[in-house]
Amino acid sequence: MSFMSRSARLMQAHTTMAKSLVSAAPARALSSSTVVCNNKASQQKKSKKEEAAVDDSTLTTISQQKEYTTGLARLREHYHSTVQDDLMVLTYQHKFHPKTKIPEGVRVELRGHKHLRPNPKASSPRHVPELVKIDVHCMMKEALTSKFNLLSGFMAIQSITGAMPEIIFAKKGVHPWKLRSGNPIGCKVTLRGDKMYQFLDKLVEIVLPRMKEWPGLPEGAGDETGNVGMGFPPSALSLFPEIEANFDMYPRMTGFDVTFTTTASSNLDARLLMSGFNLPFQQKNRSPPAVKKAEDATPEAGSA
């Protein structure tokens, strides 16, 4: 009986173990399937998050691009298609002779603390004069009494250029002018690229033709290093379309200066480049050639 009882107990144990294994198998399968499903769901969530991040980045990049143009600016295209070729022909030199010859091994001392300029580069398609940047800046005397008076000029320069100006602070104090070091006295903007050509186009086509009694830039304009500057009175600021449409928003009009920075090495090349953009220059008052009046040959009444 003992042997039979032991065998019965063993058989009962085997059956219970088999039942437990059979019942545990589908649970394991379910657990593995749930893990796979969870992994797939997490991967899908990650992919959706990445796609959303890409969409957000594209939206931010598109929103940052305030102005979208399909082509070059009008004056930039005019420079590359017409002015550049004409300048290469007009400034070409068959024999290149540098203007200044410095002896070797000799220290040359110049008067007036002037520095020697580098020799001009030979004419080639790579050295054609080109407009690099335009600087627009203004100084307001009213800012000496109150810094809030500078806001009108600040807003006006920002409107006509389309760029955020930079505040100019006084470096030194001048007691007779009631100027202290560190006080804001003006603002400036540096334009490059398409904004530079758009401002030049607006200046040449709209503002300069409407200025009364303005003969143009002097014939000797330039600083011998390829830069050309010009100043405008406060009345010229109101001729810009951005100021003219909202004239009442600017209580104080101010004058401003414009400086054209080019890669030219002489005043002649710089003036030649700027004249290609229809910027007028004065001509010297040359007296017209004297016209000889033909004396009327009248036959004298002679005695017969």
Residue closest to 73 by CA, chosen among 211, 198, 234, 218: 198
Give yes or no: residues 239 and 186 share one domain: yes
Amino acid in the structure at residue 43? Q
Residue 182, domain member (yes or no)? yes
* DSSP code, position 205: I
Query: Can you give the CATH number for the domain in which 162 is found?
Result: 3.30.1440.10
Residues 33 and 176 in one domain: no
Contacts of 165 (CB under 8 A, 6+ apart): 154, 157, 158, 187, 188, 189
168 belongs to a structural domain: yes
Helices then strands (H, E): number in the chain? Answer: 9, 5
Same-domain status, 160 and 269: yes
- In this structure, is residue 81 part of a structural domain? yes
Tell whether 90 and 165 lie within a shared domain.
Answer: yes
pTM across the whole model: 0.60
Residues 54, 6, single domain; the answer is yes
Is the domain of 129 the same as that of 26?
no
Please state, in angstroms and rounded to a whole number, the distance separating the CA atoms of residues 185 and 170.
7
Query: What is the b/e burial string over 235-260, where b = at least 16 CB atoms within 10 angstroms of the residue's CB?
Result: ebbebbeebeeeeeebeebbebebbb
Could you tell me the residue range of the domain that residue 17 belongs to?
Answer: 1-64
Residue 114 belongs to some domain of the structure: no
* CA 33 to chain centroid: 60
Considering the domain architecture, whether residues 133 and 36 belong to the same structural domain is answered as no
Give the residue carrying structure tokens 């200066």: 257
In eight-state DSSP terms, residue 261 is E
Beta-carbon neighbour count of residue 37 at 10 Å?
10
Phi-psi region of 224 (alpha: psi -120 to 50; beta: other; left: phi over 0): left
pLDDT number for residue 190: 93
pLDDT of residue 59: 43
Instruction: Let me know whether 249 and 185 are in one domain.
Output: yes
pLDDT of residue 111: 63
Residues 200 and 220 in one domain: yes
Residues 34 and 85 in one domain: no
Amino acid, res. 63: S
How many domains would you assign to the chain? 2
Closest CA relative to residue 169, chosen from 133, 143, 135:
143
- In whole angstroms, what is the distance from residue 163 CA to residue 189 CA? 7
Residues 134 and 55 in one domain: no
Cα 292 from Cα 71, distance rounded (Å): 57
Name every residue whose Cβ is closer than 8 Å to that of residue 221 and which is 6 or more positions away in sequence: 228, 229, 230, 267, 271, 281
| Amino acid 134: pLDDT | 92
User: Is residue 107, in this structure, part of any structural domain at all?
Assistant: no
Do 195 and 83 have their domain in common? yes
Q: How far apart are CA 229 and CA 217, in angstroms?
A: 9
Question: Does any domain span residue 299?
Answer: no
Contact between 185 and 144 under an 8 Å Cβ cutoff? The reply is: yes
Q: How far apart are CA 280 and CA 228, in angstroms?
A: 12
CA distance 227 to 269: 10
For the chain, 304 residues long, the average pLDDT of each consecutive 10-residue run is: 56 62 48 51 60 48 49 76 77 63 57 62 74 90 81 88 88 78 86 90 89 79 82 88 85 88 84 85 61 49 46
